[in-house]
Amino acid sequence: MNKKNILSTIIVFTSLLIISCSNNDKFEIEKGKVGKLTTTTKIDQLDAIFKNDSIVKNLSEGAQGNNYFQEDDEYLIYEKGGKLLLTIMPKEQLDSTSTIKSIEIHDPRFITNSGVNLNASFSEINSNNTINRIERTFSSATLFIDDFNATITIDNEELGLKDFNTQKVTLAQIPDLAKMKSFTVWFH
């Protein structure tokens, strides 16, 4: 090979590496970061960040509304083609300058440095992360992971427990192959 072909090959390889790394950044989860969203991202920036995707806005009626049980505002991010990626909840309702309170992950391409994604089993979560505490509800157990400020919910069925019971659950009781029901990253 001559020098010109070697140089061309190096440029193509470097370009592919840069493109590959920037695409992975789109799905990276860290403490205070989910893809291109950070703790300082404001709700009014979502349209620009997800300009190639679709955003469905489910807004509450706030304090002025008649329905006191109305859920919080939520912004559903859909990839072109209709795949749900994220559900974003703002800290302040009906305020476009609010920052983000939480992001529920719906796409397994979003992944932490320790390899946790929506398809991770309990053993994969537990082996590379510190689970700070477990809270039990009638239908599930919630794992609190401070490493990336997230909660992971596992259904009672995955735990081998009967519904409508609030007995304590320990890490040792959770089966290694238990799959998560939901994965939420918190920005507080």
Query: Could you read off the pLDDT of 159-181 as tens digits, one per residue?
Result: 888 766 778 889 999 999 999 99
Which letter does DSSP use for residue 81 in this model? T
Mean pLDDT over the full length of the chain: 86
Q: Determine the residue type at 117.
A: N
What's the pLDDT at 66? Answer: 58
Q: What angle do CA 15, 17, 54 make, to 5 degrees?
A: 90
Of 153, 187, 183, nearest in space to 84 by CA: 183
Q: Is the pLDDT of residue 53 over 70?
A: yes
Q: Is the pLDDT of residue 10 over 70?
A: no
Of 108, 109, 90, nearest in space to 39 by CA: 90
Instruction: Identify the band that residue 59 occupies on the pLDDT scale cut at 50, 70 and 90.
Output: confident
